Amino acid sequence: MPFYQKRGRIPTKRHIQFRDENGNLYWEELISRGGFSDIYSNVYHIHHPTSLETIGEFKKINLQTADHTHRPHHIRTSNVESTGDAISSRIPLFFNSDLVISKAHVTKSMDSLYRNGHGDEVLFIHSGSGELKSNFGNLNLTVGDYVVIPRGVIWQMTVNKSMRILVTESSGPIKTPTKYRNQFGQLLEHSPFSERDIRTPKFSKPVDDRSVEIEVKLENGIQTYGYEHHPFDLIGWDGYYFPYVFNINDFMPITGKIHQPPPVHQTFQGSGFVICSFVPRLFDYHPESVPAPYAHSNVDSDEIIYYIEGQFMSRKGIEKESITYHPMGLPHGPHPGKIEESLGSEETNELAVMIDTFKPLNMTESALDLDDEKYPYSWIKS
């Protein structure tokens, strides 16, 4: 997490007696990464957080690799047949051992609580609005938000206006880029965003409901549990571990005299992948600069670009919510005419999310069903 936070009431020291006005002990819970050797938060419950009443059904999830040719792909995700809540509406499109990339068209609020027990999540809100309620507090969600939810956080999403969400589930922690942090974890002066841009949970009164169902996401499915007490019964917490929001429109692009490579757009890092933000920016100012990107063969990474809005300078025939997928082993670059078209341009209004993975991605049948089979030939001059 980027910085220390404190909410509600907490004792003066960790692991000491902390009582209510009637003399009853509050229940302390440590939520930590890396065993006891990484970031953590201490939270304080009214009731015992481990009061399990029932163990429900296990819903198996089998991600199947579609049989597909190694080639560039253009996936029109606006046509995904998806409805439901923020969990049930997810349609997996790409995956490997490090991450799963899904699209969700969220049409209703969640009835039960959810906890990802084996993965961190980044939800990119393309459209719509809602609220993320968690054991750490509440976050309003709006267009352009990256919602970072570390594993173990218990949450529920309510929908104000139907939402379209790009979901990235990561087997490892989601972090701000190492290259933009100092030795103490603070974002550096030349980072394209700072702690001021990060929204943290707004604390609310403890929820004292009984008999609550929680769906726990595991690597191969979802296990349902029934608890005696609601996990949002916190009277306070402090630490570095909590969900947060960063809006893509607060990303301040780094520009240069000549074309800057994609790493300057990096926003998050995970285990085996990075997430980058392409936002409106001024083009290069060398008198002979070429604003459009050069063709490139990233021999160690697969590239996913999710197009949000605007006119993307290097592609033709791309729609809102399109995904282009360029696998490692093949060069890719601007469509014919796009380099010449970019010459002399002063700025771009594109908005897109890029995910580069360092292991090959698998495609699902759902992705192939949305694929433009003519896309690989779109670089041939007509």
| pLDDT, tens digit, 9 for 90 and up, residues 134-179 | 999 999 999 999 999 999 999 999 999 999 999 999 999 999 999 9
Query: How far apart (Å, rounded) are the C-alpha atoms in residues 184 and 142?
Result: 31
Backbone phi and psi for residue 336, each to the nearest 5 degrees, phi listed first: -55, 135
Three-state DSSP class for residue 217: strand
Residue 24 neighbours by CB under 8 Å, 6+ apart = none
pLDDT tens string 45-101: 999 999 999 999 999 999 999 988 899 999 999 999 999 999 999 999 999 999 999
Cα(288)–Cα(343) distance, integer angstroms:
8
* Start-to-end Cα distance in the chain: 50
Q: Can you tell me the distance from the alpha carbon of 64 to that of 66, in angstroms, rounded to the nearest whole number?
A: 6
Q: Do the first three CATH levels of 51-231 and 248-377 match, i.e. the same topology?
A: yes
What is the DSSP secondary structure assignment for residue 210, as one 8-state letter?
E
**Against a cut of 0.85, is the pTM above it?**
yes
For residue 260, is it left (φ>0), alpha (ψ between -120 and 50) or beta?
Answer: beta
- How many angstroms separate the Cα of 196 from the Cα of each of 192, 204, 220, 245? 12, 22, 37, 11
Residue 248: phi, psi to the nearest 5?
Answer: -60, -30
- Joined together, the tokens standing for residue 268 give 């998050």
The Cα–Cα gap between 156 and 214 comes to 10
Torsions phi, psi for 41 (to 5 deg): -135, 145
228-275 pLDDT per residue, tens: 999 999 999 999 999 999 999 999 999 999 989 889 999 999 999 999
Rounded to whole angstroms, the Cα distance separating 246 from 141 reads 10
Helix (H, G, I), strand (E, B) or coil at 361: coil
- DSSP state string for 210-270: EEEEEEEEETTEEEEEEEEE-TT-EEEEEES---EEEEGGG------SSPPPGGGGEEEEE
The per-residue b/e assignment along 74-97, b for 16 or more CB within 10 angstroms, e otherwise, is: bbbbeebebeebbbbbbbbbbbbe
> Where are the chain's structural domains?
51-231, 248-377
Q: How far apart are CA 341 and CA 193, in angstroms?
A: 30
Cα–Cα distance, 42 to 10 (Å, whole number): 9
Q: How confident is the model at residue 345 (pLDDT cuts 50, 70, 90)?
A: confident
pLDDT for the residue 339 = 87
Q: Is 70 exceeded by the pLDDT of residue 1? A: no
Helix or strand or coil: residue 249? helix
Considering the domain 248-377 in this protein, what is its CATH number? 2.60.120.10
Q: Nearest-CA neighbor of 246 among 281, 195, 304?
A: 195
The single-letter DSSP state of residue 98 is S
pLDDT in tens, 305-328: 999 998 777 777 888 999 999 999
Residue 336 above 90 pLDDT?
Answer: no
Residue 195, φ and ψ in degrees, nearest 5: -60, -25
**CATH classification code of 51-231:** 2.60.120.10
